A and B are shown apart, each in its own frame.
Chain A
Amino acid sequence: MLLFSNTITSLENALKTSNIQQKVISNNIANADTPGYKAKKVSFQNVLNSEMASIKATRTDQRHLEFTNASTTGAVVKNKNSSYHSNGNSVDIDQEMSDLAKNQIQYNALVDRLNGKFKSLQTVLTGGR
């Protein structure tokens, strides 16, 4: 029997991703005036993959693709083709600021859920008293 369910691991991974996202956003905004700097993004595909990893799946055939259990939390990718300024910088400050707000709310929500999870465990441990 698992005392700590998979949900906690999922939340933990999501928090890690959120943390990386925060770093990427702060680096993008820090370099908003740097000539030639290309904005970075946390790729969603890897986030999706890491979430998929917590889903139980059975392979019925050896030739099926494996559901890897890698706990990667989003890779940082660079978009080299776009440009917002004449100096080759591609940071869209409005986009970055709204991403920042979004990420913060998401982080807070995740911490809240994690706390809720611990609370219910505690309720079980104390027998509802």
Chain B
Amino acid sequence: MTIFNSLNTSASALTAQRLRMDVVSSNIANAETTRGKFVDGEWQPYQRKMVEIKEKDSFSSMLSRAGTGQAGSGVQVTKISDDSSPFKLVYDPGHPDADAQGYVKMPNVDPLKEMTDLISSTRSYEANVTVFNASKNMLLKALEIGK
């Protein structure tokens, strides 16, 4: 048990939320990207990325949880995965990436979804900053014992 445990927990959450924000900005930035991946001599549009997060588990934390039930040690990102929902088809015969029928495959990015994700991660980030400051003040207060 170290005194910085709760600070490390909050820090891991800040990292995870920051990554969520990064992925959201990447999605919004690439909302119109028709050339995301080059597969079999053909351009595929950008695929929306999603972040998978789970509770952080180290061997020591699992061991101590098996014994007495411990607080846990934060959160971690396991994977950034692709959204496999279908691409949007837009009729634009003049587009360089249009197919024989004149349709262009556009990325499966929904700006509405991205904005709610962005707000959600911003709020979580703020909450974790508050917790971080609270823990920090407690540690500083502990240093005042016996002064």
Interface on A for B, CB 8 Å cutoff? 15, 18-20, 22-27, 29-35, 37, 40, 75-78, 93, 97, 100-101, 103-104, 107-108, 111, 114-115, 118
Contacts and interface: CB of A to CB of B under 8 A. Distances in A.
Interface in B70-84: 70-75
Sorting the interface of chain B by its residue count into under 10, 10 to 19, 20 to 34 or 35 or more gives 35 or more
Contact of B141 (A25, A26, A27, A107): A107
B68 A76 contact: yes
B71 A23 contact: yes
B124 A32 contact: yes
Contact of B124 (A22, A25, A33): A33
Contacts of A27: 6, 9, 71-74
B128 interface: yes
A27 to B, nearest CB: 4
Interface string B5-24: 11001101100110010000
